[in-house]
A and B are shown apart, each in its own frame.
Chain A
Amino acid sequence: MKHVLYIVFMILVATFFWVLMNFFEAYKLENNVIPFAGLRLSTWLENFRSLAFLGIVICGFLSILWYLLGQWAFKFNYWNKKFRAIWCLFLVLTIIVTAILCFLTINLQEGTILVYIFYFINNFFTFYLGTLLFSPASVKYTPLGAEYVRHW
């Protein structure tokens, strides 16, 4: 039951960033980006929303994958395995996903940096917060900073 609950919480974290993206970031971008001539802002925002959503889904999936590995796949009989390196690899993947999204996003005349920042925040923190707060017990302090934050 606890496993289901934690995975649901991870999904909720991803959902939070999806809501943030849809209602805050999109609003911010609407007032701060200028597409090139011939491209309507609504079209560009649609592109942004789709790609941002994809990024959140992928990173949410990565956090759930981390949970499944930590709970059922990693063997702790051999305690000297470097599970933190595996978590860091997943974290790097979120950055790679962000980079890909940046590449796929339609170019802007102005406001590109803000878009990249929003992609990074959504993807990175979907994974980081999900794993920081809801990693399975055996790896609950593996995410960086978890031992200072997590007390459950």
Chain B
Amino acid sequence: MSCFVIGVGGTGAKCVEALIHLCAAGLMPDNESLYALFVDPDGANGNLERARNTMSDYAKCCEENLGVTNLFKTSLAIADPDVWSPFGDEAKPTLGKFFHYNTLKEENQAAAHLFDVLYSPEEKETTLEKGFRGHPSIGAAVLASAVDFGNQVPWKTFRQSVEQSIGEGGIAKIILIGSIFGGTGASGLPTIARLIRNKLAGIQNVRIGGILVLPYFSFKPVEEGGIKAASEDFLTNTQAALLYYHQKATEHSENQEMDLRSFKTVYSLGEAQLSSMKTSSLGGQSQCNEPHFIELYSALACLDFFKEKDTADGYPMLAREQESSITWSDLPNYEELRLKLEQLTRFSYAYLTAYRPMLKNIAEGGSQYRAPWYIDFFKRAKLNLNDTTTRDSLKRIEDYCTSYLQWLANITASTKTPTVKLVDYNTFAERKINNEVIAVDLKKHGFDLNSFDNLLQSEKKEPDNGLNNLWARMCSAKVKDPNAVGVGRFFRALYDECGKK
């Protein structure tokens, strides 16, 4: 285990979600595994829940005995618990309760007065179960006090995993992702990085990277009262955060605890045109924003960090060719990226539109006609579609493919300007009815069957016979990899054939 990702806050969770999809496509370096952990006081956050579900689906798919292939090749270890909150199980935590303010007032008045100077009464008394309300000053204090690598899960197992990775002679690459304009990410990124660096001080083979996500979305003001994040403050918050990072990165300090040069590599990502999110929410399940292409870039930044053998100090930079659009060539390492994402997209598309429906029909006692691939991979292999193991495997892959195509469609539809020209999502998804906000759902009544070969072309194209040709290839497909077993042979054959045109 040598790659570690910590998603801090809602944006961090969405970026980890994107990274998981890239792992599914086989874009992680070979022979690397990934350890993932979320940090969020708002455990019910909708963005976080989606990321957790994706991660869980992915982890289950990794058990499918596909053999040696790019599909789900990276093994994933999910922290236990997968989401760490500094407040534990506290239902209505407040800053005052966390620091025992009432006790402090009686026992240490000077400290209590300092507390009063640093935090307003509202900040001390607002409940924080939905996050730090866009106030990184609250988050930084809480997180710095709460993280314990000695005895507290999942930090203890995180530390042990890192030490084990180094002990095996590898380099532990730890990357933290979060926004710097909100609450949790802005407070968590520098704080947790510093804590990790200090805990592992003296150990050579540790690299810590940071992905600082700058503003890329906006939302309407939240109606609830009290302290809360506001998108009109994002740019000011970002400016302050970046000045802070710059200051701390360049100042010299003899006090290592205060030395914030924790990141070996920093990636800053943002978008000038802010996308309008469909929901305005303090937090909780209703805070579920659609995936955005910036999260794809963040995930690619993770891959860049994980791939570098000797990560150098510095600030890698990236820009797109046209201001008004994003195409494949604007993405780093786009040739490999496009190839592997295309294969995964074709696999998901074909499975959901042609193969899974037929298998369901057969399981329900449908038509007596059987496709040759069904005879070869199921009937002759004596796999019963109604057997629990087989049924669960088929469902797992279906769940993952659905979440992948949903994610892909949404990052392509995430903005009107710039237009994202990565995939023709209209073949398998449709816009939700909302003139203001772009969001897509998978089509309920069948995908467009004549656009299989050119799924990753966004411009108008001629109808093609791709699905038909795939079907013919599947009917002759053979899987020679002895490690592909059971239903895994079928998935492997379908994935391999989707890599051909």
Q: Determine if B274 is an interface residue (Cβ-Cβ < 8 Å).
A: no
Q: Determine if B361 is an interface residue (Cβ-Cβ < 8 Å).
A: yes
B361 cross-chain contacts in A, Cβ below 8 A: 80
Stretch in A8-16, A28-36, A103-111, A139-147 touching the partner: A139-147
Interface residues of A in 81-98 (CB under 8 A from B): 82-84
Q: CB within 8 A of A138: which of B358, B367, B471? A: B471
Interface residues of A in 125-152 (CB under 8 A from B): 136-142, 147
Inter-subunit contact B370/A138 (CB<8 Å): no
Q: How far is the CA of A50 from the CA of B379 in the complex (A)?
A: 45
Q: CB within 8 A of A137: which of B358, B449, B475? A: B475
Q: Determine if B354 is an interface residue (Cβ-Cβ < 8 Å).
A: yes
Inter-subunit contact A138/B467 (CB<8 Å): no
B358 cross-chain contacts in A, Cβ below 8 A: 79-80
A77 cross-chain contacts in B, Cβ below 8 A: 354, 449-450, 467-468, 471
A71 cross-chain contacts in B, Cβ below 8 A: 472
What 1/0 mask marks residues of chain B from 457 to 476 whose CB sits below 8 Å from any chain A CB? 00000000001100111011
B499 cross-chain contacts in A, Cβ below 8 A: none
Chain A binding surface SS class: loop
Q: Determine if B315 is an interface residue (Cβ-Cβ < 8 Å).
A: no
Inter-subunit contact B375/A76 (CB<8 Å): no
What 1/0 mask marks residues of chain A from 4 to 42 whose CB sits below 8 Å from any chain B CB? 000000000000000000000000000000000000000
B472 cross-chain contacts in A, Cβ below 8 A: 71, 76, 136-138
Interface residues of B in 357-396 (CB under 8 A from A): 357-358, 361, 366-372, 375, 379
A141 cross-chain contacts in B, Cβ below 8 A: 370, 372, 375
B298 to chain A, nearest CB (A): 37
Q: Which of A75, A77, A84, A139: most chain B CB closer than 10 A?
A: A77
A78 cross-chain contacts in B, Cβ below 8 A: 449
Inter-subunit contact B371/A137 (CB<8 Å): no
Q: Quick one: given A77-B354, A79-B354, are A140 and B367 in contact (CB under 8 Å)?
A: no
What size tier do the contact residues of chain B reach? 20 to 34
Inter-subunit contact A82/B468 (CB<8 Å): no
Inter-subunit contact B467/A147 (CB<8 Å): no
Q: Quick one: given A77-B449, A147-B375, A147-B379, are A82 and B475 in contact (CB under 8 Å)?
A: no
B191 to chain A, nearest CB (A): 54
A140 cross-chain contacts in B, Cβ below 8 A: 372, 475
A142 to chain B, nearest CB (A): 7
A82 cross-chain contacts in B, Cβ below 8 A: 367, 369
Inter-subunit contact B369/A142 (CB<8 Å): yes
Q: How far is the CA of A78 from the CA of B371 in the complex (A)?
A: 12
**Whose C-beta in chain A lies nearest to the C-beta of B477?**
A137
Q: How far is the CA of A42 from the CA of B354 in the complex (A)?
A: 59
B394 to chain A, nearest CB (A): 16
**Whose C-beta in chain A lies nearest to the C-beta of B367?**
A80
Q: CB within 8 A of A76: which of B367, B370, B468, B476? A: B468
**Whose C-beta in chain A lies nearest to the C-beta of B466?**
A77
B372 cross-chain contacts in A, Cβ below 8 A: 137-141
A79 cross-chain contacts in B, Cβ below 8 A: 354, 357-358, 371, 471
B476 cross-chain contacts in A, Cβ below 8 A: 137
Q: Quick one: given A77-B354, A77-B449, A77-B468, are A84 and B475 in contact (CB under 8 Å)?
A: no
Q: How far is the CA of A75 from the CA of B371 in the complex (A)?
A: 13
What 1/0 mask marks residues of chain B from 276 to 317 whose CB sits below 8 Å from any chain A CB? 000000000000000000000000000000000000000000
A3 to chain B, nearest CB (A): 11
Q: CB within 8 A of B369: which of A75, A84, A136, A137? A: A84
Q: CB within 8 A of A75: which of B368, B375, B468, B475? A: B468
A56 to chain B, nearest CB (A): 28
Given contacts A76-B467, A141-B375, A147-B379, 5 further A-B contacts (CB under 8 A): A76-B371, A76-B468, A76-B471, A79-B371, A147-B370
The 9 closest A-B pairs by CB, nearest first: A76-B471, A137-B475, A137-B476, A77-B449, A138-B472, A77-B467, A79-B358, A138-B475, A147-B375
B binding-site residues for A, Cβ under 8 Å: 354, 357-358, 361, 366-372, 375, 379, 449-450, 467-468, 471-473, 475-476
A binding-site residues for B, Cβ under 8 Å: 71, 75-80, 82-84, 136-142, 147
Could you write out 18 A-B pairs with CB less than 8 Å apart?
A71-B472, A75-B468, A76-B354, A76-B371, A76-B471, A77-B467, A80-B358, A80-B361, A80-B366, A137-B372, A137-B472, A137-B475, A138-B471, A138-B472, A139-B372, A142-B369, A147-B370, A147-B375
